[in-house]
Amino acid sequence: MPPDQSTHQEPERPRVGLFVTCLVDFFRPQVGFAAVKLLEDAGCEVSAPLNQTCCGQPAYNSGDSKSAAAVAEGVVRAFAEFDYVVAPSGSCAGMIHEHYPRLFQEDPVLGPMAADLAGKTHELISFLVDILGVDRVEAAYEGVVTYHDSCSGLRELKIKAQPRQLLASVAGAHLRELPSAETCCGFGGAFCVKYPEISNKMVSDKADDITATGADTLLAGDLGCLLNMAGKLSREGSGIQVRHVAEVLAGMGDAPAIGQIDEPMRKEG
């Protein structure tokens, strides 16, 4: 459907606020556009409020609840008007869904607003499948892909089957499971720079496991984890392409992979 006909012809179209996430905004904006395409294709009217920055997790996980609340307040206010809030990240969606109510539990004004926001906030892929009932996408991607289940999405939001279900409908893509898919990649936000040696051990093990699958593409639903794993694979000289799952599902898998310049040179089949 043409995206630029935002008219009032279809009054039931759910109004979705896209929480872009700071990492997608900065490092890989096309993930945001992939999310917009997937949401619009599924019949949503998508807006991305300009007054959003970050969900506040860096401060929240550093024990600085005041700063976290200051930043989160901006999100609570910016997204109050939407039917749904969707983020292409289990980590940021999990922060809003799981932790915002706790962050504002003693605030008589923001408390109820945060609880309302938490209830309508979803991670992109699980929103498409679980809420909108999307069961397939029109996309093609030639190659053997493997999938990493990012921790917050997997454990806080129970995202496991949804991306696999949609990937199964991508023409040409074959999923080969990563045995350690549920093991943390070692990103952990500030963890990776606070404890670089431990993080390095974790991401090195992960890179070995990814390589051992023989897949030519690694997908996941969180850009933090993807940047970490892509950075390690690239440092090791691996040719494995790393992408956000939304790019492939939106038929935008032909852009250069994370950290790469050239057109991808994927092995066929």
The footprint of other proteins on residues 18-37 (CB under 8 A) is 20, 22, 24-30, 32-33, 36-37
Whole-angstrom distance, CA of residue 83 vs CA of residue 57: 23
Which of 254, 244, 6, 257 is closest to 125 using CA atoms? 244
Which of 165, 169, 200, 211 is in the footprint of other proteins by CB under 8 A? 200
Q: Which letter, b or e, does each residue of 225-238 get, where b requires 16 or more Cβ atoms within 10 Å of its Cβ?
A: bbbbbbbbbbeeeb
Restricted to residues 139-168, the positions that interact with other proteins (CB under 8 A) are 151-152, 155-156
Which of 181, 192, 240, 245 is in the footprint of other proteins by CB under 8 A? 192
Per-residue tokens: 13: 């179209």
- In the bound state with other proteins, the residue whose beta carbon lies nearer, of 168 and 208, is 208
- In the bound state with other proteins, the residue whose beta carbon lies nearer, of 64 and 130, is 64
Is residue 189 a contact point for other proteins (CB under 8 A)?
yes
3-class DSSP state for residue 61?
coil
Restricted to residues 41-70, the positions that interact with other proteins (CB under 8 A) are 47-48, 50-54, 56, 58-65, 67, 70
Number of residues lying near other proteins (CB under 8 A): 74
Instruction: Output the smallest distance, CB 91 to other proteins, in A.
Output: 9
Is residue 259 a contact point for other proteins (CB under 8 A)?
yes
- In the bound state with other proteins, the residue whose beta carbon lies nearer, of 153 and 163, is 153
Q: Where are the alpha helices (DSSP H) in 79-222?
A: 90-94, 100-103, 110-120, 124-126, 151, 161-167, 191-194, 196-213
Torsion, Cα 153 125 232 211, to 10 degrees, reads 100
Segment interacting with other proteins (CB under 8 A) among 129-137, 164-172, 213-221, 222-230: 222-230
**Which residues lie closer than 8 Å to 118 by C-beta, 6 or more apart?**
96, 97, 98, 100, 101
Instruction: Output the smallest distance, CB 105 to other proteins, in A.
Output: 13
